[in-house]
Amino acid sequence: MEAVISVDNLAVILDGKAVLKKISFTVNTGEIAGIIGPNGAGKTTLFRALLGLVPLHAGTIKILGVPPHRIKEVRRRIGYMPQNQSFERRFPLSVADVVAMGLLSPESLLRPTGDCRERVAAALKSVGMEKYGVRPFQELSGGEQQRILLARSLVRNPTLLLLDEPTSGLDFPAQQQFYEMLLRLRRERDLTVLLISHDLLSVASVADTLICINRTMHVHGHPGEVMQSPGLKEAYRCQFDLLRQTGRAEESER
């Protein structure tokens, strides 16, 4: 399988502080890879490094075959969904306006937007929100807003999706719906997905591989292996046994 993302010995220093060091992993075509780690582990910085938004101190990154400083060559093939606190929830936009913002790029500067209704409608349909185009974005629930932001990241028909905590703030059913939709989209659109999540159990259930970091690389592999790995406990600097907790839940169900 072809590597869509390859990161080798990456180090990022911001304001004199090593935010990331010795990070290495690959994500292959069609995979869903989950990035996990405690708060402040540098997960979002890793995304920013992939997108060329922060300078690399050491190491190399290749995303869709190009290094981050040439990201503009492949930007149209990347869909990005930032953390949900990056936007103002009560912003006066319609749902279609929010999705259409995903079409903005340096190439669209000083040019009329043109008719993007079909692309917006297709993106909304793919997340099951085709009837919501004219609705005010501010009046949607948190789960619905997340779907719209996912539609925004899909509007350019990307081959790679970067999702930064897409289910944070959602209740359990909304999280499950979101992940089911993600699996369907991966199947329908041949997407490769890299997603950050704090919810270890949920992400382990949908991801093909997990990458656990805490400033540095701790463990990378199949979710089953990662969840039992001592590297996971090292990264979180605490003693816990997720599998045992899951087992207890199953026992009580019986």
Partner 1 sequence: MSELLSFGFMRQALAAAILVGLLCSAVSFFVVLKRLSFLGAGISHTALGGMAIGLVFGVNPILTGCLFAVGAAMAAGSISRIGKLSEDTVIGIFYASGMALGIALISTFKGYYPELFSLLFGNILAVSTQELLIIAGALVLILLFFTLFFKELLAICFDEEMAMAGGLPVRALYLGLLAAMGLAVMVSVQLVGAVLVAALIVIPGATGYRLCANYRGMLAVSLVTGLLGSVGGLVLSYFYPVPPGAAIVLILTVLFAASLLLRRRLGVSKQDK
Nearest distance from C-beta of residue 143 to partner 1, angstroms: 15
73 or 241, CB closer to partner 1? 73
131 or 248, CB closer to partner 1? 131
Q: Record the tokens describing residue 231, joined without a space.
A: 């590297």
List of E strands, 29-106:
32-36, 58-63, 78-81
Nearest distance from C-beta of residue 9 to partner 1, angstroms: 24
Instruction: Measure the CA–CA gap between 196 and 42, rounded to whole angstroms.
Output: 11
Residues near partner 1 (CB under 8 A) are 15, 51, 53, 71-72, 75, 80, 82-83, 86-88, 90-94, 97-98, 101-102, 104-106, 108-110, 113, 136, 138-139, 152
Confirm if 9 and 24 have CB atoms less than 8 A apart.
yes
7 or 100, CB closer to partner 1? 100
65 or 224, CB closer to partner 1? 65
Nearest distance from C-beta of residue 136 to partner 1, angstroms: 4
Contacts of 153 (CB under 8 A, 6+ apart): 79, 80, 81, 102, 161, 162, 163
Please choose, from the candidates 39, 35, 42, the residue with its C-alpha nearest in 3D space to the C-alpha of residue 18. Answer: 42
Nearest distance from C-beta of residue 201 to partner 1, angstroms: 27
141 or 205, CB closer to partner 1? 141
DSSP string, 116-163: -HHHHHHHHHHTT-GGGTTSBGGGS-HHHHHHHHHHHHHTT--SEEEE
Nearest distance from C-beta of residue 81 to partner 1, angstroms: 8
Please choose, from the candidates 163, 171, 165, the residue with its C-alpha nearest in 3D space to the C-alpha of residue 142. Answer: 171
Please choose, from the candidates 186, 173, 114, the residue with its C-alpha nearest in 3D space to the C-alpha of residue 141. Answer: 173
Nearest distance from C-beta of residue 127 to partner 1, angstroms: 16
155 or 204, CB closer to partner 1? 155
C-alpha 47: how far from chain center: 8
